[in-house]
Amino acid sequence: MSSTLHSFEQAATRAAHDRPQQETVRTSLGTYNRALNAGRERFASWSEARHRARAVKADAVAHLGEYLEQFEARITSRGGHVFWAETAADARDYILDLARRRGVRSVIKSKSMVSEEVHLGAALEGAGLEAVESDLGEFIVQLRNEPPYHIVTPAMHLRRAQIAALFQQKLGTPAGADSAEDLTMAARHYMRARFASAGMGITGANFLIADAGMVAITENEGNARLTASLPPVHVVLTGIEKILPRLTDLALFWPLLSTAGTGQAITCYSSLIGGPRQPGEADGPEEFHVVLLDNGRTRVLADQERRDTLQCIRCGACLNVCPVFHTIGGHAYGTTYSGPIGAVLTPLLRGEKEFGHLSFASSLCGACTEICPVEIDLHHHLIENRRDSALQHVRPLPERIGMRAFRWLMSDAARYARLAQLARHLLRFKNAWVPEGSPLDLLRPWTASRDLPEPPRESFREWWQRTRQERGGHA
Amino acid sequence: MPKGRDHILGRIRAALADRPPGGLPEDVAGAAVFAPVADPLARFQAECQANRTELHLVTAANEADCLTAVLAREKEGGDGTIYVQDAPALRALAARLPAATQTNLQFAPAQPAGIASLTLCEALVARTGSVLVSSRCGGRAATILPPTHIVYAHASQLHAEIDAALLAARSQSPTASLYSLITGPSRTSDIEKMLVLGAHGPKRLTVLLRTD
Amino acid sequence: MVTRPRIALFIPCFVDQLLPQVAQAMVRVLERVGCQVEFPAAQTCCGQPAFSTGHWAEARPLALRFAEIFAGPEARQSYDAVVCPSGSCTTMVRNFFPALAHGDAALAQAIAPLHGRVFEFSEYLVRQLNVRDVGASFPYRVTFHDGCHALRELGLYDEPRELLRAVRGLELVEMEETTECCGFGGAFSMQMSDISAALGQRKAANVERAGVDFVTSCDPSCLMQIGGTLARQPGRVRAIHLAEILAAGLDAGLDAGPQDSGAERSAQPSARTTGDAGGARAGLRGPRDAPPAKRAAKPGARAEKRP
């Protein structure tokens, strides 16, 4: 058993029994759901919006190379730099070199899942740089020294009282200052000094606009705007798949992302950044760098079946509607991207052997596919991932043998009928003699928490044969 | 350095050897997706109210009084300065403020934030009740750092849709390094989904909209 | 001229072995609405357990087998439609067989004639036969659980509800989160049993809160999960398949005679009076929660409390 599987099983089991945690998450998602439903009403047709968004992103993915080159040319023409990072290490090294060259001592970051993906925070700290997360939720989990719980709302698992205690301990906020307003203002105050002194600002990107050659960043707090405005160097760290062909596509994608992500009609700051400070501008960074990360994405691109996962706009909606995510939360996955999209994408990016089990952590209910604003066929991809796990023989031996036996059993009706009848007898025998859910009970994974129907004396086919065929077929 | 670029683009080309025929839909946010905005001004007003933008419809006759009243309410702000974008229309407007008002045409983020900033905008969007600014509207920090951001706009800048506003901004300020579509004051709900205004950016967003 | 539709019963293996009363009830309802029903005895399993755990190589021969039995030249002569009391197994045939057949020309050719011939039970009644009122009586408060496959793969939402609304005496109550997964998920229920159980408990709590006597669904697997979970809780709500409700209170004697001991387990009420809730005792909750005599009395006792 791989270590990732083992830690997943432990964490998932623990989380599945943690009802208070589930309630916190459910309460938060209840608010989200109401906003989402109201948000979708703002569209004349939500399904048409999804359909067009899929078409646009599918085109972006199908012409990825051309669009990226177009994007790069425009950025370069304004004096910006574009770096193509093949791996996480390439991305980290480039940013660390840049920091060294610029004599940077402290870095201000705004939310970026790609920076989580390449473990940038740890790399910056390792190089002796102070790196502060400026998004409030991200800052809270940074103070707790844990990864984000959710790709859009990183601190959704925490209660206000926990955050108040954390701020008291780490920031020295007064004991009574525990309202959401107080805590937000404490973070704002703390962060203002960091913005002013940071030698480098690092943001992610929501979209890369090919025809305009600009990076689109969506946020509510204004921290990304500040990150892109105050420090002398601005670095955008993002994946190559974030391309959108046209500036005008944002008229759909900004409202779509906001609605799916938070239920808002549009987020507070929807910004486009195309370079460093230009001649005649009052302020802005001296240097502007875009780091385009591959890190396995081109491998996904080569997979015709699951290429559409590169359409993902990281809205988090599939997590929000996922009953498994509701139950085990974001940390149990042990990966940067959690929930359905994480369960589909992580095995593709990082291998079935270590992460294939995530595709099995789903009841395949399809709520993710139903909500996905770019129509990624998420739950069917989970089955395809499972197929690949089976083909690569990374599934447990009992399952592999069991499935062979299943096929053998079901390949002959008489064999099936005889053995199933025997199994019913054995099951009745077991029910009579083995306490349900006890360690001796082979069906314990089911019976530990659920009854199983008592096997009938007569199967349907036996009944049919007795009542219908004896009477000479149907009436 | 260019090695990574060549490798990635090479892999993309190889991966897309079987590229499926696709097409880019035109008018992605057209009537089939969003019902057309019938009355842009009425919609803008309604959306501003919903997203907590303070909107004042003004004319040449009352704009200075309105701005004075807006500023009189502001309490916060280190040195009490109002930063004003260096533009003829705003210089003229600032000149009509009460004599005691401290204004500064050079926005300096290193100094303590003042009371407010007063800037122009590139366009307004009726559908979402948004203000589109660029780095040509007093710089990048002027529209995000102060506790209050006051936007001076004209009704002729109002567009029904986001794409029209973006295209207008690009043709007016083609070399701007930043555009930002601002919808209401800065906010967060990262703590128990409770809405707090003024997370990092302005706590108050005020629009003076000239209708004459 | 009206001809009786000739139906091939597609009975999921676990229904065959563990829940025969569901299939019996479906037979009864189909015959009641004028269908001629046959059970192709060579059928076993559609192969979904292998498919959804990724073992497609084991699933393919079962899909091929299924196609030969239900859509081979002979079957096409004999049956007008294939009807199944499970949204999930219908989904396997309709939506997942094509995925299995991708790149397998022989299988693709074999499954092609299945297209447009395989239906989930409520779908068949409402969409194909245009039947809503089958003549059933079931004087209880009932909530409907949307199985994920029936809802999202087959697009069935109104069909079962329309059938339930036409049942005499039945009060349909929508529970909270009715479209949220019950957590069964096939092998998931065993392999990730803690997660599955937690979801089942949430669903069961929603059922309990709805204040109903029964929870029903188009999917017997969901009902095993929900009913099995409810059985461990103090409440007295039972799980029962839609077909069992639709068979309740139908005039006896159309098909099964008194010698039919299977009817003991079927949803067919023991008496003709619609007030008798005999159908209730065959609920999926399983017979172990009470001896038969007591169980027979239980729904009646509940009924007494009703105004």
Q: Spell out the per-residue pLDDT of chain B, length 212, in tens.
A: 569 999 999 999 999 998 777 789 998 999 999 999 999 999 999 999 999 999 999 999 999 999 999 998 876 556 678 899 999 999 999 999 988 788 888 776 655 567 899 999 999 999 999 999 999 999 999 999 999 999 999 999 999 999 999 999 999 999 999 999 999 999 999 999 899 999 999 999 999 999 99
Q: Where are the alpha helices (DSSP H) in A147-232?
A: 160-171, 180-197, 223-229
Claim to verify: residue A150 and residue A213 sit in the same structural domain: yes
Write the residue in A266, A275, A299 that is nearest to B128 by C-beta.
Answer: A266
Claim to verify: residue C205 and residue C102 sit in the same structural domain: no
Compute the nearest-CA separation of C250 from chain A (Å).
17
Q: How far apart are CA C90 and CA C112, in angstroms?
A: 15
Angle, alpha carbons C174-C176-C179 (nearest 5°): 85
Claim to verify: residue A119 and residue A216 sit in the same structural domain: yes
CB contact under 8 A, C197 and A12: no
Tell me: the pLDDT tens digits for A257-294?
Answer: 999 999 999 999 999 999 999 999 999 999 999 999 99
Compute the nearest-CA separation of B123 from chain A (Å).
14
CB contact under 8 A, A363 and C181: yes
Q: How far apart are CA C213 and CA C280, in angstroms?
A: 9
* Tokens 């359909």, located at residue: A51
Claim to verify: residue A284 and residue A323 sit in the same structural domain: no
> What's the confidence (pLDDT) of residue B70?
92
- At residue C239, what is the residue type? A
What 3-state DSSP class applies to A218? strand
Claim to verify: residue C151 and residue C299 sit in the same structural domain: yes
Percent over 90 (pLDDT), chain B: 78
CB contact under 8 A, B190 and A28: no
Q: Report how far Cα A201 is from the mean position of its chain's Cα atoms.
A: 24
Q: How confident is the model at residue C298 (pLDDT cuts 50, 70, 90)?
A: very low
Write the residue in A31, A180, A298 that is nearest to B15 by C-beta.
Answer: A298
CB contact under 8 A, A367 and C99: no
Q: How far apart are CA B156 and CA C290, in angstroms?
A: 77
Residues in C touching A456 (Cβ below 8 Å): 18, 20-21, 265
Does any domain span residue C135?
no
CB contact under 8 A, A407 and C58: yes
Q: How far apart are CA B207 and CA A30, in angstroms?
A: 33
- What the block records as the tokens of A366 is 């399809």
A340, A330, A332: which is closest to A367 by C-alpha?
A340
Does any domain span residue A113?
yes
Compute the nearest-CA separation of A159 from chain C (Å).
22
What 3-state DSSP class applies to B107? coil
CA distances from A334 to A329, A339, A363 (A): 10, 11, 19
Helix axes C220-230, C193-209, angle to 10 degrees: 80
Claim to verify: residue C191 and residue C255 sit in the same structural domain: yes
Claim to verify: residue A291 and residue A168 sit in the same structural domain: yes
Residues in C touching A388 (Cβ below 8 Å): 54
CATH code of the domain containing C216: 3.40.50
Does any domain span residue C134?
no
- Asked if the model's pLDDT at residue C286 lies above 60, the reply is no
- Residue C97 Rama label (left phi>0; alpha psi -120 to 50; beta): alpha
Domain final residue, candidates C128, C158, C174: C128
> What's the confidence (pLDDT) of residue C290?
36
Domain final residue, candidates A268, A295, A322: A295
Q: Count of CB atoms within 10 A of residue B56's CB?
A: 16
The CA R_g of chain B, rounded to the nearest whole Å, is 21
Claim to verify: residue C16 and residue C84 sit in the same structural domain: yes
- What the block records as the tokens of C35 is 């269908």
Claim to verify: residue A177 and residue A271 sit in the same structural domain: yes
Q: How far apart are CA C60 and CA C48, in angstroms?
A: 10
Write the residue in C13, C55, C229 that is nearest to A450 by C-beta.
Answer: C229
- When mean pLDDT is compared across A416-420, A421-425, C8-12, C291-295, the lowest value belongs to C291-295
Q: Count of CB atoms within 10 A of residue A455's CB?
A: 23
Claim to verify: residue C291 and residue C167 sit in the same structural domain: yes
Q: How far apart are CA C223 and CA C213, in angstroms?
A: 14
A152, A166, A326, A160: which is closest to B191 by C-alpha?
A160
> What's the confidence (pLDDT) of residue C299?
37
> What's the confidence (pLDDT) of residue A431?
86
> Could you give the number of structural domains in chain A?
3
Residues 6+ positions from A325 with CB-CB distance below 8 Å: A319, A338, A339, A340
CATH code of the domain containing C10: 1.20.1050
Does any domain span residue A111?
yes
- What the block records as the tokens of A228 is 């892109």
Claim to verify: residue C70 and residue C112 sit in the same structural domain: yes
- At residue C41, what is the residue type? A
> What's the confidence (pLDDT) of residue A394?
86
Q: Which of B3, B6, B12, B104 to mutate to test the interface with A (most CBs of A within 10 A)?
A: B12
Does any domain span residue A219?
yes
Flag whether residue C98 sits within 8 Å of chain A, measured between CB atoms.
Answer: no
Claim to verify: residue A209 and residue A255 sit in the same structural domain: yes
As a CATH number, domain B39-210 is 3.40.50.10420
One-character DSSP codes across A270-291? EEEE-SSPPTT-S---SEEEEE
CA distances from A383 to A160, A359, C306 (A): 39, 7, 47
Claim to verify: residue A73 and residue A161 sit in the same structural domain: yes
Q: How far apart are CA C247 and CA C125, in angstroms?
A: 13
Q: How far apart are CA C184 and CA A273, in angstroms?
A: 47
10-residue stretch averages of pLDDT, chain A, 475 residues long: 84 92 91 94 96 96 97 98 98 98 97 95 96 96 95 93 95 92 94 93 98 98 97 98 98 98 96 97 96 97 96 97 95 94 95 92 97 98 96 90 96 97 92 82 90 94 90 48
- Asked if the model's pLDDT at residue C305 lies above 80, the reply is no
Claim to verify: residue C159 and residue C271 sit in the same structural domain: yes
Compute the nearest-CA separation of A225 from chain B (Å).
7
CB contact under 8 A, C39 and A461: yes
- Asked if the model's pLDDT at residue C292 lies above 50, the reply is no
> Could you give the number of structural domains in chain C?
2
Q: How confident is the model at residue C302 (pLDDT cuts 50, 70, 90)?
A: very low
CA distances from C18 to A375, B43, C34 (A): 38, 60, 27
E strands in chain B: 54-58, 82-84, 103-104, 116-120, 123-125, 130-134, 148-154, 158-159, 178-182, 187-188, 196-197, 204-210
- At residue A453, what is the residue type? P
Residue range(s) defining the domain that contains residue A7? 1-41+309-395
> What's the confidence (pLDDT) of residue A172?
93
> What's the confidence (pLDDT) of residue C212?
98
Asked if chain B contacts chain C via 3 or more Cβ pairs within 8 Å, the reply is no
- At residue A34, what is the residue type? R
Q: How far apart are CA C265 and CA A172, in angstroms?
A: 69
Residue range(s) defining the domain that contains residue C24? 6-128
> What's the confidence (pLDDT) of residue C2?
60
DSSP class of A311: G
- Asked if the model's pLDDT at residue C264 lies above 90, the reply is no
Does any domain span residue A422?
yes
Does any domain span residue A304?
no
In total, the C-beta contacts within 8 angstroms joining chain A to chain B are 280
Does any domain span residue C39?
yes
Does any domain span residue A269?
yes
Claim to verify: residue A192 and residue A163 sit in the same structural domain: yes
- What the block records as the tokens of B104 is 């500064």
Does any domain span residue A215?
yes
> What's the confidence (pLDDT) of residue A227?
97
Neighbours of chain A (3+ CB pairs under 8 A): B, C
Residues in B touching A65 (Cβ below 8 Å): 9, 12-13, 16
> What's the confidence (pLDDT) of residue C256?
41
Q: What do you get for the CA distance between the two ends of chain B, in Å? A: 56
Q: Which of A415, A449, A452, A465 to mutate to test the interface with C (most CBs of C within 10 A)?
A: A449
Claim to verify: residue C275 and residue C147 sit in the same structural domain: yes
Claim to verify: residue A359 and residue A426 sit in the same structural domain: no
Residues in B touching A187 (Cβ below 8 Å): 199
> What's the confidence (pLDDT) of residue C125?
98
E strands in chain C: 6-9, 36-38, 81-84, 118-120, 141-145, 171-172, 214-217, 238-241
Q: Report how far Cα A432 is from the mean position of its chain's Cα atoms.
A: 46
Q: How far apart are CA A100 and CA A109, in angstroms?
A: 17
Claim to verify: residue A243 and residue A277 sit in the same structural domain: yes
Residues in A touching C265 (Cβ below 8 Å): 456, 458
Residues in A touching B188 (Cβ below 8 Å): 136-137, 184, 220-221
Claim to verify: residue C150 and residue C238 sit in the same structural domain: yes
CB contact under 8 A, B190 and A153: yes
Alpha carbons within 13 A on the beta-carbon side of C2: 6
Does any domain span residue A303?
no
Claim to verify: residue C158 and residue C293 sit in the same structural domain: yes
Residues in A touching B168 (Cβ below 8 Å): none
Claim to verify: residue A356 and residue A434 sit in the same structural domain: no
Does any domain span residue C90?
yes
The CA R_g of chain A, rounded to the nearest whole Å, is 26
Claim to verify: residue A313 and residue A279 sit in the same structural domain: no
- Residue C121 Rama label (left phi>0; alpha psi -120 to 50; beta): alpha
- Asked if the model's pLDDT at residue C83 lies above 90, the reply is yes
Domain final residue, candidates A271, A295, A319: A295
CATH code of the domain containing A4: 1.10.1060
Domain ranges of chain B: 39-210
Claim to verify: residue C237 and residue C192 sit in the same structural domain: yes
Q: How far apart are CA C57 and CA C51, in angstroms?
A: 8
Claim to verify: residue C22 and residue C83 sit in the same structural domain: yes
